[in-house]
Chains A and B, each alone.
Chain A
Amino acid sequence: AQSVTQPDIHITVSEGASLELRCNYSYGATPYLFWYVQSPGQGLQLLLKYFSGDTLVQGIKGFEAEFKRSQSSFNLRKPSVHWSDAAEYFCAVGAPGGYNKLIFGAGTRLAVHP
């Protein structure tokens, strides 16, 4: 069965520092991989997605993620964090035969110190 693990529940970084949020997935083949962000009281916004091809994916708001098949990982990175990046981040996986169903990780809550 598919599963997604986000090992870090909370992360605090200083504004301007780099960020890496970890995501590990469990799936037999190459899954569809996503990162979403949720601000308080809001729905989910897609940051980026990976299906195939270049394993380094660029997204919105300056985020990127790298797919590493050997490590079953899809970590999200940003070189310089802004205070407005404080939010909860979710990694998700979808399956080719699963229609639009997504399996989400537990989320990582990011706090940004000025």
Chain B
Amino acid sequence: KAGVTQTPRYLIKTRGQQVTLSCSPISGHRSVSWYQQTPGQGLQFLFEYFSETQRNKGNFPGRFSGRQFSNSRSEMNVSTLELGDSALYLCASSQTQGPPEETQYFGPGTRLLVL
């Protein structure tokens, strides 16, 4: 079974631009969560989607948004990019919407560099 895939793997943008990252969960998984990983703040939860509905949201500004499609694929969008948005963005998928007894599987991440 294929793992979680994230595209693109690397991305360079400039301040003020917007970016869209994509995550394809493991087949049959309906929950997708997003995390931001930076050296200063570590791993921080962005949001979680289950069956196209946002179930949970972290403490990030409204510039960060996401959505989930009927095939469970998810996208996250960051508008008006700032230098501090440079990070590794990880997505994780699981079969259920929690509690997290089911194992969550993480993708390799998308590394975003904002210049």
Contacts of B55 in A (CB 8 A): 99-100
Find out whether the CB atom of B101 lies under 8 angstroms from the CB atom of A51: yes
- Nearest CB in chain B to that of A45: its residue: B106
Interface range on chain A: under 10, 10 to 19, 20 to 34, or 35 or more?
Answer: 20 to 34
- Nearest CB in chain A to that of B94: its residue: A100
Find out whether the CB atom of B109 lies under 8 angstroms from the CB atom of A104: no
Contacts of B98 in A (CB 8 A): 94, 98-101
Find out whether the CB atom of A90 lies under 8 angstroms from the CB atom of B43: yes
- Interface status of B26 (Cβ within 8 A of chain A): no
In Å, the complex CA distance between A41 and B106 comes to: 13
- Interface status of B107 (Cβ within 8 A of chain A): yes
Which of A96, A99, A102, A103 interacts with B50 by CB under 8 Å?
Answer: A99
In Å, the complex CA distance between A105 and B50 comes to: 25
Find out whether the CB atom of A43 lies under 8 angstroms from the CB atom of B90: yes
- Where the two chains meet, the residues of A that have a C-beta atom closer than 8 Å to any C-beta of B are 32, 34, 36, 41-46, 49, 51, 90, 92, 94-107
